Amino acid sequence: MVGRAQPVSTWPGVGAAGLVAALILGTLAAVALRAETAGGFGPADWSALRFTSVQAVLSAVFSAALAIPVARALARRRFRGRRVLITLLGAPFILPVIVAILGLLQVFGRAGWISDVLGLVGLPPLRIYGLHGVVLAHVFFNLPLATRLILQAWQEIPAERFRLAAQLGCDGGTMFRLIELPMLRRILPGVLAVIFAICLTSFAVALTLGGGPRATTLELAIYQAFTYDFDLGRAALLSALQLALTVAAALAALRFSQRDGFGAGLDRAIRRWDGGAPVRDAFWIFAAAAFLFLPLAAVLISGLAGLFEMPIQVLRAALTSVLVACVSTVVFLTLALPMAFAVAAGRYGIVELSGILGLAASPLVIGTGLFILIHPVANPSTLALPVTALVNAVMALPFGLRILVPAAREVVTRHGRLALSLDMNKKTFFTLVLLPRMRPQIRFAAGLSAALSMGDLGVIALFADPQIATLPLQIYRLMGAYQMQAAAGAALLLLLLSMGAFWLLDRGGRHHAET
Amino acid sequence: MKHLMIAAGILSATSAMAADTPQLTVYTYDSFVSDWGPGPKVEEAFEAQCDCDLNLVGVEDGAALLSRVRLEGANSDADVVLGLDTNLIAAAKETGLFAPSSVRAEYDLPIEWADDVFVPYDWGYFAFVHNADAPAPASFRDLADSEAKIIIQDPRSSTPGLGLLLWVKAAYGDDAPEIWAGLADNIVTVTKGWSEAYGLFLDGEADMVLSYTTSPAYHLIAEEDDSKAAAAFDEGHYMQVEVAAKLAGTDQPELSDQFLRFMVSDTFQQIIPTTNWMYPAVIPSTGLPDGFDALITPEKSLLFSADEAASVRDEALTEWLGALSQ
C-alpha cells in the first residue's frame, strides 16, 4: 500500500514512532554505555528466561481463551447494567501491583475467602502459590483487556453480515464459523502478543504468587542487576532480551493476523438474531464478573474503613496523580493518533513495532536511562512529574494502538478512495471523516491511558522528591510505615479515581454498549 | 509537555535564587522521607539550628540508594548519604566516593563500632513476628520442624530478605543449606519487599513474617494493640545497623559534619524510635519510649563485619536459591 496516495499524512506518525523508539532504545543504550563491565548471562538468567517465557505464554493463552466466550456473551446480550459492568471489567488492569496482590490473596490465598468456604466443608485451603497462581493473577489483570479488545472487534463487524446470516437461516454455530471466527483470527494474534509482552515484565506478582525463587522472572533479574550487583551491563543485556522477545511476538502477531477481506457495511446498529444459549452466555458473564470482582470487593472492603480518615498528604498526592494523568493523556494522544493514522495509511511495520516496544521496556531501565541522561544537565527530581507523565504515556501506547489502529484502518480503507476522488484535502478528511468516525475509540483509548497513568507507579520512585508524591507512591509509603489501613483506604481512592477518569473519558463505554 | 518543562525550569530557577542560604542535600531511602517517617521532623529540627536548607531526597531502599550514588559518581548532588547498612558498607567503601568524618559518639549498640567513614544512627534485630496468642518456635530448627507458615522477603530485592540470609549463615555456617531445606515447606511465599510480606501477614496469610523485634512496638504504641510479638530465637538474632556518611565530593564538608553530629545527638535520636521503629544508636537522655520495654531482647547478637558480609553474600544467596528452587 505504501506509495499510493493516502488521505492522511504519515510523517507525523513516523516521527512520533521515531521519538518513542528513541526514548526506549536511547535509555537502554544510556544504561549500557554507563556500564563498567560487559554483562554476561549466568545459568540463573537462563532459568529466569525460561520461567518468564513459559508463564507469559500460558497467561496470554488463558486470558485470550477465556475472553472469547465472555466477549461473545457480552456482544450478544443486552441487559441492565451492561455498560457499568463493561467499565468495571477494566478495573483490575489499572490496580497498582501491591494492591492487586493483597486483593487477590484475600480471595484465593491460604486464609482467603475461598479457603474459608472450603474449610466449612472440611476441605484443606486452596494451594494458590506456584505457576498456576502466577497464571491466575495474570489472567486477573489481562482478561479485562482481552475481553475489551475482542468485544470491540465484535462490535465492529458490519451489522449487515448478521442480518444476511439471519436471513439465510444460520444458527448460532454457523454464524460463529462464518462471521465471528474470521474476525477472531484477525484479532487474536495481536491480543496474544500484547498480553505475552505485558507478562514478560512481571516481577512482584510473579514472585509472590509463584511462591518463591522458582518464579524468578527477567524483570527480577534486571532489578537484581541494578541494585544487588550494580551490574549495569547485565541489566541492559537482560532488558534487550526482553525487548527482543516482545519484538519477536509482535512480528509473529503481524504475520499471523489476516486482514478482513469482506465488504464493508453501512454502520447500522448491530442486531443479533441468534438468541440461543442464554444460559451459557449468562454463565460466562457471571463467572467473569465473579472472578474479577471478588478481589476488587476485597480491596473495597479493606479500604472502606480507611477511606474516611485519609491523611491530607494522601489527598494532595491524589491531586498530583490527577494532574499527571491529564498531562500523560494529552501526550499519549499526541503520540498515538498520528501513529494510528500512519499505520492505517500503510506504514505499519516500523510504527507498530515501536508502539509495542513500550510493553517490554522495563520501567527500571527507562527510568535509570532517563536519569543518566538528565542528571548532567538538570536536577532530575525537579523533572519528576513531567518525566512520569511522559513514561506513563509511552507505556500506554501499545494498548492505545490496539484500540485505535483497527478503527483508523477501517475508516481509511472504507472512505479513503472516495475522499481522494473528491479531491478532499488531508485536513478536511481529518476533521470531517477521520475524527468523528473514530471518536469512540479515541475516547476509550484516552480513558485507558488516563486510568493506567493514575494507577502506575511508573518511574516516580526513581526521581522522587519528598514534596511530590503520586498516589501509588503514597500507598507504598503508607505501607512502609506500617499504616496498612490508611494504605488500603488510599488504594480504594486510587481505584475510584482511575475508574472515574476512565468513565468520564470513555463516557460510560457508550460505544460498546450500543453502537 | 513543553509548558511543564518550562514551568519546571522556572521552579528550579526560583529555588536557585534562594541559594544564599547554604543547601545540604541528603540522599536517603524513601520511607525515611515519607510523611510518616523521620524526615519531616528531622528537617525541621536541623533547619532550626543550622541556618541552612536541608534537602532530603528519597530513593527506594538502601540497596537502590547505593546504586543511585554509584550512578551519579563523583558528580553526585548529594552531600550526605543516610540509610546504608552494614551489608552495603564494603561495596560503598569500594567506590571511594565516601569520605571519613570525625564524628564519634558513645553508641548504645550491642557491638563495638569502629568505622571512621560510616556513622550509625539506628539499629534493630531481625525477627519473626507472630500473633502473641499463638505458640512460637524458639529456633530455626524448631521452626523447620513445626507446621508454622512463614512469609519472607527475597534477598535480591529486599534488605530484610538479605538480613535473613545472613542471619542463617551467621548462625549455621556450612549447615545453612540444610536449614533452608528444612524451612522450604514452612515458607508460604517470598515477596519483593517488606510491605507486601507484612501486609499479607496482617491479612492472615501466614503465622509469622520476617520483620524486626521492634515491629510489635509499632502496634503497641501507635495502635494500642498488644496482639503482636516477636519470637526469640536461641541462635541469636542478626542485627541491622543503619549508617550515614558524607561524600568525598561534597561542596559542604562542614555542614555535612554538622549534620552527622546532629544525627547522633538527642534531638535526632529521640525522633527515631517512633518514626523509623528502630532502636536509636545513642539512647537519648529521655530514654526509650514506653512500649519498647515490652520487646524481646535477644541473648546473642549476630553480625558479620562489612568485609565478611560482602564475602559470604553471594555464596549464601546461591545456597538459598538452590534450597528453595527444588
Domains defined along chain A, listed by start? 11-37+49-260+268-513 (1.10.3720.10)
According to the model, what pLDDT value does residue B9 have? 45
Residue B7 belongs to some domain of the structure: no
Shortest CA gap B107–chain A (Å): 26
Rounded Cα distance between A200 and A245, Å, is 8
Residues 390-409 on A with a CB inside 8 Å of B are: 390
Q: Which three cell numbers stand for residue A10?
A: 504519515
Q: Please count the structural domains in chain B.
A: 2
Same domain, B153 and B245: no
Q: Residue A514: pLDDT band by 50, 70, 90 thresholds? A: very low
Residue B11 belongs to some domain of the structure: no
Same domain, B76 and B199: no
Contacts of A481 in chain B (CB under 8 A): 31, 34, 36-37
Q: Which three cell numbers stand for residue B179?
A: 536449614
Residue B93 belongs to some domain of the structure: yes
CA nearest to A223 within chain B? B157
- A–B: how many Cβ contacts below 8 A? 173
Residue scoring higher pLDDT (A509 or A198): A198
In this prediction, does ipTM exceed 0.85? yes
The parent domain of residue B280 ranges over 21-123+240-289
Contacts of B72 in chain A (CB under 8 A): 375
Same domain, B184 and B150: yes
Same domain, B186 and B215: yes
Residue B250 in this model has a pLDDT that exceeds 90:
yes
According to the model, what pLDDT value does residue B166 have? 96
Measured CA to CA in angstroms, residue B284 lies from A13, A372, B108, B167, B221 at distances of 63, 41, 10, 28, 18
Same domain, B97 and B77: yes
Task: Assign residue B51 the CATH number of its domain.
Answer: 3.40.190.10
| pTM reported for the whole predicted model | 0.89
Contacts of A385 in chain B (CB under 8 A): 4, 8
CA nearest to A127 within chain B? B188
Which among B58, B219, B324 has CB closest to A464?
B58
Q: Do A212 and B70 touch (CB under 8 A)?
A: no
Same domain, B102 and B25: yes
Residue B14 in this model has a pLDDT that exceeds 50:
no
Residue B318 belongs to some domain of the structure: yes
Same domain, B308 and B160: yes
What single DSSP character describes residue B186? G
Shortest CA gap B70–chain A (Å): 8
Which among A105, A207, A461 has CB closest to B192?
A207
Helix ranges (H only) for B1-111 are 2-17, 30-33, 39-50, 62-72, 86-94
Rounded Cα distance between A369 and B73, Å, is 15
Residue B9 belongs to some domain of the structure: no
Q: Residue B13: pLDDT band by 50, 70, 90 thresholds? A: very low
CA nearest to A364 within chain B? B64
Same domain, B94 and B113: yes
Mean residue pLDDT across chain B: 91
Q: Which long-range contacts (CB under 8 A, 24 or more apart) does A226-230 make?
A: A226/A364, A226/A368, A226/B64, A226/B67, A227/B60, A227/B61, A227/B63, A227/B64, A227/B66, A227/B67, A227/B157, A228/B63, A228/B155, A228/B156, A228/B157, A230/B66, A230/B67, A230/B70, A230/B91
Same domain, B192 and B259: no
Residue B92 belongs to some domain of the structure: yes
Residue B43 belongs to some domain of the structure: yes
CA nearest to B205 within chain A? A111
Maximum distance among all Cα pairs of chain B, rounded to whole angstroms = 65
Shortest CA gap A280–chain B (Å): 35
Predicted confidence (pLDDT) per residue in B31-64, tens digit: 999 889 999 999 999 999 999 999 999 888 888 8
Residue B108 belongs to some domain of the structure: yes
Same domain, B314 and B188: yes
Read off φ and ψ for residue B231, nearest 5 degrees: -85, 130
Buried b (16+ CB within 10 A) or exposed e, B151-183: bbbbbbbbbbbbbbbbbbbbbbeeebbebbeeb
Same domain, B47 and B105: yes
Same domain, B136 and B245: no
Mean residue pLDDT across chain A: 85
